[in-house]
Structure 1
Amino acid sequence: MTIAGATYRSWGRPPAKAEPKAIRLRWRDEGFPVARPVLPYGNGRSYGDSCLAGEGTFVDLRGLDRFIAFDEETGLLRCESGVLLADILAHFVPRGWFVPVTPGTQFVTLGGAIANDVHGKNHHRAGSFGHHVRSLELLRSDGTRIVCSLEENADWFAATIGGCGLTGIILWAEVTLKRVPGPAVDAEALRFSSIDEFLELSRASHNSHEYTVAWIDALSPGKDGARGVFFRGNFAVDQRQVAAARKKPGLPFTPPVSLLSKRTVKVFNAVYYHWPRRSRGHVHYERYFYPLDAVANWNRVFGTRGFYQYQCVVPNGDAVDAIRALIARVSKAGEGSFLSVLKVFGDHKPAGWLSFPRPGVTLALDFPDRGEETLALLDALDEITAEAGGAVYPAKDARMKAVDFQRSFPFWRRLERYRDPAICSDFWRRVVVSQI
């Protein structure tokens, strides 16, 4: 089915290179689209160009939105790849189940969560989303269908987890949900004033709290690298009545320039850090996991040029010095964002060949696109990350150099051998195809 008038962008909202073309897949038994080249498209929540295909046709998978089977004893759910995590949560949280891993938005598709091997606040305990996928089915452009898992067609499975949607169209997948007592999370917020204090809070919370993450003020890092607020939580054993996040109206239009000036971000960060808050309380899972989902189209605040999200991970051995250097560079540039997130990853083997999460500390920041000024800052952050032996997240990237991608994801050649010849993205053309 060809779609007219639909919008296909990445969440970072870079200016469109061309008018997008799209075909919607509605049934699992349909054949592979005849258009060439194509790119599977979920709900467009990747920030960079891994979900963009300026030279091809999108295969819109939101029509594959059905639950197929569920085992109430084991929590094994089979559903189509276009199902949103929000759909799963709405249906299964009242029945005592939650997704095993969730990113910062519930509006990603199951297929997108697999293709980007998303991670969440519980990586130190549960690993990434791919660690909980049990099997999936791929549709290839030659018409073959490949069911794969750790036991069956294991190479295809490893290529597809975190494989940026390049190995074929994911038709359905099985994922194991986790039992929860209800929708309430016992959440705690603790201020810290240094990187060492953040790491100590992370260590102290590792065994006691399933979910941990920190917000930092990258514009006013203080004397020792960072100040911020450390959030930790568990699903509450003593479930109480809690209200879901109240939906707030978003911007009805995209302003011509970013509404986030350096001055307003600095003021926001200072207020947020010092804001009087209860150190502990019961909150609905939407408030804890998805605070920005309550604001429709919040990405429009960055203006028509859009924004870059920069997320890197640096190994534990060099983490303190590298994170300090990254924050210092951002602070010096005066480009710190109000969305600055710090998290310690666990010691889990990556689930897929191109999986981003690995042992270390990850830092994520948002920057309005101010042209060469912003690109120069991001290049400087790349240098610090590379020197520490770290990596930049492909699902968030829109500009890293091919040499940096290929250095930090050494299995890219193996993935290229498994890539469907009819599928390519702007990201893959930039970091691989143009270099071959």
Structure 2
Amino acid sequence: MTTTSTPRRAAAAAFIGTTIEFYDFYIYAFAAALVLGPLFFPGDDPVLSTMAAFGTFAVGFIARPFAGLIFGHLGDRLGRKKMLLFTMVLMGLATAGIGLLPTYAQAGIWGPIGLVALRFLQGISVGGEWGGAVLMASEHAPKRRKVFFASFAQWGSPAGLLLALIAFRAISSMDQESMMTWGWRVPFLMSAVLMLVGLFIRFGVPESPEFAEVKENKQTVKNPVLDVIRGHWRQILFAAAAVTIGSAGFFFTNTFMITYVTQYQGISRSTILDCLFLVTVLQFISQPCSALLSERLGTGRFLTAVATLCILVPYPMFLLVQTGNLFYMTAGITLAVVLLSALYAVIAGYMAEAFPPQVRYSGISIAYQLCCALTGGMTPLVGTWLAGHFAGQWWPLALFFSFLALLSLIGVLGLARLRATPHENRSIARPEVAIP
């Protein structure tokens, strides 16, 4: 039986689980920006070396749509909890494996091949994790609090980023030789310990009551992925567009920005890491506040306003970053991150309500992972290319950020229109058992 404490436990488990998953994902992002290029893709041109490292970063995003299809199907068939336990084990093993990999100097081409393979497994894990974490939190929640409780899964992103920043800030204080020899491995190896903590917490949370009801009433569908694509493809496309700036924007500010300020503005690595740490602390504080505010204002209205502001925010951000001053840099990036994280906090629960429970895991997973594959993984690559092609000019980068935010605004407006139509009036997934 579900008790009044179960929604809180489910939200806490979603938060802690996604914190660990995103820690694993973000430490790869930082490693790609700081060390993986010379270690696994040595060359005379540092820009090409960095782009090669970011290419392996993008591999994790290419894997995520496949994971959305696979785990969406299994999550709608077998349950949310089983998928969350499996993805946590997969992520922990893949991340710890990266920490044990030989470099190019030690193993030649097998080092980069192993890196790409393990990065692909990281992408599979995150691609399957996200939808289940959101649904375990939202489907346990009271009816009018689903968006807020779903935001706890999103809250794991800044928490994981804080852990990753602390880890890489610690090793960045090492001398260059020690960091490049063994120090970079430590954050990856820590994942094995975090995996055990996450498994212990998730075992204690029961299956989602909404899925349990679907299962009990024999309303699961045989092919949820096919059914959701056939009957809810518009929701998938608009949801994928809506989450764009909430996904790609973080990798713009937290991954590409490290490369931009260190390689093109001569700002020290420790300075930008300190800046991002302060920004992420403020994001961690503001994100649940944004979810609460959206409940008061109305989620559709709130998301429309935030997406519009995200179109405008990169211009003051870059003007402040150009100063090279830690205070002004922090203020500029914080302004952008607080806005895009406000959308990110709310969009998960908003998306989930656009799909019926029989195909909900599949629907939100396909939408979110499609967005991540098309925009999230490519954002640092596109940003690095723009910065190199338009050296000394920030406005092409700002326009790129605005374009990502415009996609989110279009998606939010389209999703709002579709959500206004009750599920029973749409193409509902067919039950697995035939009705005579």
* TM-score range for the pair, normalised by the shorter chain length: under 0.3
For CA contacts below 8 A with separation 6 or more, give which structure has more relative contact order: 2
Which structure is higher in helix share? 2
Q: If each structure's strand is expressed as a fraction of its own residues, which one has the higher value?
A: 1
Q: What TM-score comes out, normalization by structure 1 length?
A: 0.26
